[in-house]
Structure 1
Amino acid sequence: MKAMLQNVRTVMNWGRQSDPANFFPAGNPLKGIKAPDYTTLPSYLRAFTMDEAKLVLAAARKEEKPMFRWIPWLCAYSGMRVSEAGSLRKEDFFQVGDRWFWKVTTVGNRSLKTASSERRIPVHKTLADEGLLDFVKAAKPGRLFKGDTKDAVLIQPRISTWVRGLIPFDKRPELSPNHGWRHLFEDLCTRDHVPEDARNYMTGRTGGGSQELYGRSEVMLPGLAAAMDRIEAIPI
């Protein structure tokens, strides 16, 4: 912000020097203006607490609309972005041996935040026990989470509004209703000693090294599933 303000101030000064009679003749209006102080909220404040996670997941169990029933659970046990979960299709789920996974992919004209966001995530046993795979198998081909009248819907604001109906803003203004699952999942990974490279892969995070885009064949999937199995279920 400070650099941007300085750049604008420089342009204004240049304009004043070139034509002081017509270009802000009263003087540079930015003179004396300081950039606002900026601090980021700590990750733990934006994350769901365990009690909040239990509240939301228990409420989701009672929902009939698929996006509210399953997206909170998918995000809680993967750390995926709500927008990524909202774009999932039946065809993204696949089986290797006796284990199920799903793909977070750009296939089908979908977009992802970064190249490292392309990944495959093991289905946590808790999701299978909840009936996720039964829901996927029974679904029609294409998008799993649709609007009432069209396939393309804005998932993020709907999920955010739904969560805020359970956890009002005035009680927890710092909470990120959509991104908070990512922070919680990463904390669960740390608690349960999930290897850092597996955690980073499953959440689609990257340190910027080109090597992170290699070595993503099916050979890695059993080890990835074993890493996911380390995460203990959220008791509800």
Structure 2
Amino acid sequence: MDDLFERWAAYNADKRAGNTIKRYRASFRSLGAFASQRDARSLNSDDLFVWAEHRRDAEGVSPRSINKNDLVAVSSVFQWATGRSGGQILPHNPARGLCLDEPRIVAQRERTFREHEINAILRAASAVAQDHDNITRSAVRRWCPWLAAYSGARIGELTSLARQDVRIEGGTPVMDLRITKTGEPRTVPLHNHLIEQGFLAFVEASMGGPLFYDFKRHKANAETSPAEQQAKAVAKWVRATVNLDPAVDPNHGWRHTFKTRALGAGIEERLRDAITGHRVASVGRRYETPPLSMLSAAMKQFPRYSL
């Protein structure tokens, strides 16, 4: 099992996002442990289904997560192993079509932040004072909620920012989001309110390198990157600081909030998608790359948060 996965990972090192390979590895470790590292060629669909049930019943993983993550990962690797690039190690894909029944989940509320939640999070962020003993911890709390509020970017994309990623292009202050979930980098204009608050001055005063984490504070060989660790730390801090409804995500809620506010401001869909990094729905739209001038105009149209 381990050998099969590592072959797949090596083949896809330049084809799949690093986070995807990491997620798949976690699923394969679980399967390998459950199957006592049996030869992958000996596994059938019944074995995989029993493993999926074990994930659900013994490990407490939700059926939706198992279907979306574990079974997708295993099916992808096994399918590769049936083809020429995978050496045709497997005669067929035993994970094809497998899924667990998912209980119907009734949403408890909308995924966007409500006004009092927006105000509470952003006020808490604005009140963060510089911690000279842990500068990046105070910086990530001070700036990442505001950056997410004015870009809809994933927190992990923001915590990956380095000093050189914030720059001026054609007179427009921008941030280059290089590490993204899709693996496709994008450039996002900075809202004027961020500049007024001193974000560019903060970047200019930084020592160089990552803005929101310090390599010295993280293990070199940790499976979770420093940026991801900081993203999780932001969520934990927001939960501990703000009386946030448990049904809304303290980080991802900004993506929903930004797009909802952008919709209300009349910003067209393709510009909302370009700023947030959402994939477009049609083939024709994929030929269109909104220029920075359009994105900048859209960002000027985005309403300012008034606390």
TM-score w.r.t. length of structure 1: 0.75
1:158 and 1:49 map into 2 onto residues whose CA distance is: 22
Name the counterpart of 1:20. none
Alignment partner, residue 187 of structure 2: 120
Number of aligned residue pairs: give it. 198
Higher RCO, 1 or 2 (CA under 8 Å, sep at least 6)? 1
Task: Find the counterpart in structure 2 of residue 226 from structure 1.
Answer: 297
Other structure's SS at 2:294 match? helix
* 2:237 aligned with 1:162: yes
Task: Answer yes or no: is the 8 Å Cα contact 1:48–1:181 preserved in 2.
Answer: yes
Larger radius of gyration: 1
1:11 to 1:122, Cα distance in 2 relative to 1, 3 A:
closer
CA distance in 1, matches of 2:299, 2:103: 40
Compute the displacement of 1:40 (Å): 6.4
Q: 1:84 aligns with which of 131, 147, 157?
A: 157
Is the aligned partner of 1:72 residue 2:138?
A: no
Deviations along 1:143-177, whole A, 9 cap, x unmatched? 00014843635012211111111334xx6121101
User: Please, which runs of 5 or more residues in structure 1 have no aligned partner?
Assistant: 1-6, 13-33, 107-111
Q: CA deviation at 1:54?
A: 1.1
- 1:41 paired to 2:107: yes
Q: How do 1:84-233 and structure 2 match up within 5 A?
A: 84-106=157-179, 112-115=180-183, 117-147=184-214, 149-150=216-217, 152=226, 154-168=229-243, 172-207=245-280, 209=282, 214-216=287-289, 220-233=291-304
Aligned counterparts of 2:143 and 2:262: Cα–Cα separation in 1: 21
Q: Give 1:38 deviation, angstroms.
A: 3.0
- Are residues 10 and 196 of structure 1, via their aligned partners in 2, closer, same or farther at CA, if it must alter by over 3 Å? closer
Letter in structure 1 aligned against 2:139: P
What 5-or-longer segments of structure 2 have no aligned partner? Answer: 1-44, 51-99, 131-137, 219-225
What is the distance in 2 between the residues matched to 1:96 and 1:36? Answer: 48
Contact 2:270–2:280 (8 Å) recurs in 1: no
TM-score normalised by structure 2 residue count: 0.59
1:37-76 deviation digits (Å, cap 9, x = unpaired): 233637x622211211111111111112100000000000
Which of the two has greater helix per residue? 2
- Does 1:52 pair with 2:117? yes
The answer as to whether partners of 1:192 and 1:232 remain within 8 angstroms in 2 is: yes
**Superposition misfits of 4+ residues, deviation over 6 angstroms:** 9-12
Q: Distance in 2 between matches of 1:68 and 1:11?
A: 42
Secondary structure at the aligned position of 1:100 is classed as strand
Distance 1:172 1:60 in 2: 18
SS in 2 for 1:94: strand
Over 3 Å counting, the alpha-carbon distance change for 1:148 and 1:11 in structure 2 is: closer
How far 1:121 moved relative to its partner? 0.4
Q: Distance in 2 between matches of 1:72 and 1:10?
A: 41
CA RMSD in angstroms comes to: 2.6
